[in-house]
Structure 1
Amino acid sequence: MDIKRRMERASDFTPSELQIARTVSALGPRLQSLTLKELALAAHVSIPSVHRFCKKLGLEGFKELKVEMAKSDARHTGERGEVDINFPFAADDTADGVLAQMASVYETTLSDTRDLLDPDSLAHAAELLDNALSIDIYTQSHNLYPAQMFCDRLLSIGRHATCFESIERQSRTALASDRTHAALLISYSGLGPNLSTLLPILQERDVPTIFVGTPRGGQLNPGLSIYLHVSDRESLQNRITQFASHIAVQYVLDSLFGCLFARDYEQSRAFLERSLPITSLPALRRTELSPTEYAGVMLNRLR
């Protein structure tokens, strides 16, 4: 795993080691010019603390840390190309230029999220949803759009699911839930104002909870059942709009739905097909009318 990802996902760092990780990340390529002593001074820790930090990451020492960081920087700037996730195009870009830059945003975001998303955690999340009598989705703002689509997909394969927009309904849903439910929390930053209300309720009710968001967002909300991490390159404020976070969240939810569907493929497909005659567009439903009669009915509906 990429060294930066290992630092982000580490759950057993001491306060000193967390400080070293933050310093190393902030330094970026500048780390290559520092000595061990200079890094310790920059992080305000002792040299032995840096040694322990490296060992905890599975590295032999500071030199290997520098090598791994250089490899990570090369992957981020070389293989994927440089694209500004927050401002991917300029005022004078042509349509071709915008298309190319947006393609880079998609490629970078999907690659980042694929690196962060642990397959075992994804499989565990699908198992948790599979065993739940009700799947309750909690989110806010622009994340409501992919969340509601995910809810519709769950309903399309016969799963009981909820996704309410209002905080009041979300709170009451949480209060009415128990360990037979599963909660899916979507918050890119982990700073959603609804979390401070919902998390204590869900924990008190012993509801298995899945968190979808950045690694930092997960660290801000510890103690949940499963964490599904997304790319964290997008600024929370300094951006055109939520291009990257939308792409990342949608990718995770699509993958989670795919894993859930695959767990009971035949039953999921059977329910989907059984519901099509009822839920499909009128023009696509089977009819005993002749084409002329059917066309007449449809024209009358338009008048």
Structure 2
Amino acid sequence: MNLIKALQEKKNFSQYEKELADYILEHSEEVIRMSIRDLSKSSYTSTSTIIRLCKKLNLSGFKEFKINFSRELEAEYKQISKVDANVPFNSRDSMIVVSKKIAELSKDTIDLTQQLFNDQLLNKAAKMIMKADQIFAVGVSNSFVKLNDFHLKMLRIGKYVHLVHSQPDQVFLATNATTRDVAILLSYSGTTAEIENIARIIKRKKIPMIFISSNLNCYVAKIADVIIPLPNQEDAKANISAFSSQTAIFYALNVLYACIFKMNYEENITSRELRKKSYLHF
């Protein structure tokens, strides 16, 4: 018998048994380590209700239930391989299954993103940033948050990334930049209006441009000097949250930072330690 399915369907369960089934599904990992008295206390259910539920599941008692339930959980975990990026979990999943599905989705996303990279691409992007007089970055909403994290990392190696939140101020960044600078534009969809507007200014001023996106056919991708591609797994209209896209963006920016760090590795290690000592002394 499929215990997990039976607990989800709750056929012929009393009200108390339904509540117990919900508790077991929501605390599956904990339940398999509990005694019957522990479960009774934690779920505010009598031991007799637990026994009756086990009998309805055609089991001799709670010990047999735990053995079979544990086996089913292990089998279910092993089946978590390909997770839908738009709807990675459902209402019937236990909390631990949700956590495992998000972990699997994150790993899949990072693997897919990494496969899109190559040495020539990363070298070119890192060198553009290293030789620029000034670096400025543009993104909106979640993309802006990820760029801010990149900005903080870059500060640790003495590189300042100009980053402002408001769209009018982002325009000022672009209009004040020169051909000796570099622009990093980030848009997962590639169709963000604010990003397109900035890109037009950058193109007109002939400022070197790095574009990070999953859309390689959009206007900005066609005019960028370097495109750092992201896997296109999400549908903005169908997803319940940007789990995959945000993981991909965070990974791509971390890789870009690591490549920049590597180009002056010994110097960055030394200066990082000096800054730390200076800060602690202060």
Calculate the TM-score normalised by the size of structure 1: 0.64
Q: Is the 8 A contact 2:125 2:210 kept in 1?
A: yes
Q: In structure 1, how many angstroms separate the alpha carbons of the residues matched to 2:105 and 2:87?
A: 10
Partner residue in 2 for 1:38? none
Aligned partner of residue 165 in structure 1, secondary structure: coil
Asked if 1:166 is matched to 2:166, the reply is: yes
Conserved in 2, the CA contact under 8 Å of 1:187 and 1:217?
Answer: no
Cα distance in 2 for partners of 1:196, 1:85 equals 26
Q: Distance in 2 between matches of 1:114 and 1:162?
A: 27
The residue correspondences of 1:259-278 to structure 2 (distance < 5 A) are 259-277=259-277
CA distance in structure 2 between the aligned counterparts of 1:228 and 1:132, rounded to whole angstroms: 18
CA distance in 2, matches of 1:96, 1:175: 50
- Residues in 1 aligned to 2:165 and 2:192: alpha-carbon distance in whole angstroms: 13
Give 1:90's aligned amino acid.
Answer: N
Partner of 1:86: 86
Q: CA RMSD in A?
A: 1.9
Q: Residues 151 and 204 from structure 1, CA distance in 2 versus in 1: closer, same or farther, beyond 3 angstroms?
A: same
Residue 81 of structure 1 aligns to a residue whose secondary structure is coil
- CA 1:258 to 1:225, structure 2 compared with 1: closer, same or farther past 3 Å? same
Return 206-215 or 266-275, whichever deviates more.
266-275
Structure 2: distance between partners of 1:159 and 1:114: 25
Given the superposition, is the C-alpha separation of residues 96 and 179 from structure 1 closer, same or farther in structure 2, using an over 3 Å criterion? same
The gaps in structure 1 that reach 5 residues or longer are 1-78, 280-284, 288-303
Larger radius of gyration: 2
Structure 1 residues 86-135: Cα deviation after superposition (integer angstroms, max 9, x where no partner): 11111121122012111111121111111222331111100110101111
CA-to-aligned-CA distance 1:237-282 (integer Å, 9 cap, x gap): 2111110011001111000100000001122223322222455xxx
Same amino acid, percent of matched pairs: 23
Q: State the match for 1:225 in structure 2.
A: 225
- Asked if 1:195 is matched to 2:202, the reply is no
Equivalent residues, number: 204
Alpha-carbon distance in 2 for matches of 1:221, 1:144: 19
Alignment check: 8 A CA contact 1:133 1:160 kept: no
User: Displacement, 1:171?
Assistant: 0.4
| Cα deviation, residue 80, structure 1 | 9.1
**Distance (Å, rounded) in 2 between the aligned partners of 1:286 and 1:270:** 17
Report the AA paired with residue 176 of structure 1.
Answer: N
Report whether the alignment pairs 1:212 with 2:212. Answer: yes
Question: Partners in 1 of 2:158 and 2:149 — Cα distance?
Answer: 15
Unmatched runs of 5 consecutive residues or more in structure 2 = 1-78
Partner of 1:183 in structure 2? 183
Give the match for residue 149 of structure 2. Answer: 149
TM-score w.r.t. length of structure 2 = 0.68
> Compared with structure 1, are the counterparts of its residues 225 and 158 closer, same or farther at alpha carbon in structure 2 (3 Å cutoff)?
same
